[in-house]
Amino acid sequence: MAEQIESPANEPENVAADQSRRTRHRKSPARRTSPAAPAKPTPARAAARPAGAKRPGRVAKPLRSLVILSMVGGLVATVALPAFAAGAAKSEQDPVTLQQMAVDDAQTFVAASDANAAELSRSSYAATTAEEIEKKKAEEAAAERARQVAKLAAASSKSIPTNIALTSPGTGEVRWPLLNFTKGRGLWDSGYHQGVDLLTSCGTPIYAAAAGVVKVSQESYGGYGVGISIDHVIGGQRVNTLYGHMTYGSRQVSVGQSVEAGQLIGLVGSTGSSTACHLHFEVHINGSVVDPWAWLQANAG
């Protein structure tokens, strides 16, 4: 029997290829498999949707982005508009000072660089308490009443002629109240003034102009300061003489006391509404103010 030897040449090509593949085949590590892609819609499903309809996911995403953008824009407008309006309103107002800025913010201390400390003095104001204010008002009211009375007296004295020559000069019935003096302001000079000022040094003796009875003798007689008033009857007329601004404690007569012409009654001073040593001398005839300088010249001897 002939020996049959199977030659590779007689094998089919695919068998040889299979053997070679088996020979070269190596076991490789297992590879991770990716999830399968979603299956594309079949033509039958696509045909089931309307022709103009879009997928829900594609419509919801742009709509959600639009809503978010709208909300963000609203928040920005809500924050920015009040600040812008406040800035615009502030720019339209008048310029403010540092002090005004400090008032707006009570917790802020603002000091101007050129601020200077100033001291207050009591002379810069008239009253500080309710009692002082009431006292000041009362004094002003009294002064106003006195001015009105003076005006009425002046009008009556000018409208009613008064005879000031009541006695013959040289008889001694009327005397000069001072021996040495210089004439100052006269009747109605510089406004409210009802007498004549006889200027001399403080401490000069003052004498009664005529015999009479003391009507007033006070250390504080209104604006006259230390003052004396004497009632007389001269030439059948009621006469009153007044002596003002005398020295404190110098009065020599009291109310109700009778005096003689030329009797010492006090000393010249500068009390009351006075700025220098002098005697303020007044004369009233039957209640009317007359010029005391003219009266002395006509009657004093």
Dump pLDDT digits (tens) for 88-129. Answer: 555 555 565 656 665 555 555 555 555 555 555 554 444 568
Same domain? For 140 and 211 the reply is no
What does residue 187 show for φ and ψ, rounded to 5 degrees? -65, 130
3-state helix/strand/coil string of the chain: CCCCCCCHHHCCHHHHHHHHHHHHCCCCCCCCCCCCCCCCCCHHHHHHCCCCCCCHHHHHHHHHHHHHHHHHHHHHHHHHHHHHHHHHHHHHCCCCCHHHHHHHCCCCCCCCCCCCCCCCCHHHCCCCCHHHHHHHHHHHHHHHHHHHHHHHHHHHHHHCCCCCCCCCCCCCCCCCCCCCCEECCCCCCCCCCCCEEEECCCCCEEECCCCEEEEEEECCCHHHCEEEEEEEEECCEEEEEEEEEECCCCCCCCCCCEECCCCEEEEEECCCCCCCCEEEEEEEECCEEECHHHHHHHHCC
**Position 284 pLDDT exceeds 90:** yes
Question: Are 214 and 145 members of one domain?
Answer: no
* 171 and 202 part of one domain: yes
Check whether residue 156 and residue 170 sit in a common domain: no
For the segment 53-74, the average pLDDT, to the nearest whole number, is 70
194 and 151, same domain (yes or no): no
Given this model, what pLDDT does residue 292 score? Answer: 92
pLDDT tens digits for range 228-281 = 999 999 989 999 999 999 999 999 999 999 999 999 999 999 999 999 999 999
Tens of pLDDT, residue by residue over 174-223, are 999 999 999 988 876 666 678 999 999 999 999 999 999 999 999 999 99
Contact call for residues 211 and 261 (beta carbons, < 8 A)? yes
Which of the residue ranges 15-19, 58-62, 91-95, 113-117 would you say has the lowest mean pLDDT?
Answer: 15-19
CATH at residue 218: 2.70.70.10
Q: Are residues 139 and 239 in the same domain?
A: no
Residues 253 and 292 in one domain: yes
Asked if residue 178 and residue 154 are part of one domain, the reply reads: no
Per residue, the 3-state secondary structure of 214-264, as one string, reads EEEEECCCHHHCEEEEEEEEECCEEEEEEEEEECCCCCCCCCCCEECCCCE
Other CB atoms closer than 10 Å to residue 231's CB: what's the count?
15
Give the domain extent around 212: 164-299
Instruction: Quote the pLDDT of residue 261.
Output: 95
217 and 264 inside one domain: yes
Tokens of 222: 């209104």
Instruction: State whether 196 and 143 are in the same domain.
Output: no
| 104 domain residue, yes or no | no
Is 1 part of a structural domain of the chain?
Answer: no
Domain membership of residue 59 (yes or no) is no
Domain total in the chain: 2
The answer to whether the beta carbons of residues 195 and 282 sit under 8 Å apart is yes
**Residue 51 confidence (pLDDT):** 52
Q: Are residues 168 and 292 in the same domain?
A: yes
pLDDT tens by residue, 118-159: 555 554 444 568 888 888 888 888 777 766 655 655 554 443
2 in a domain, yes or no?
no
Predicted local distance difference test score (pLDDT) of residue 75: 76
Six-digit token string for 59: 């419509």
Whether pLDDT at 50 is above 90: no
pLDDT at position 60: 66
- Alpha-carbon distance of 229 to 80, in angstroms, equals 86
Same domain membership, residue 176 and residue 156: no
Identify whether 72 is part of a domain. no
The verdict on pTM exceeding 0.75 is no
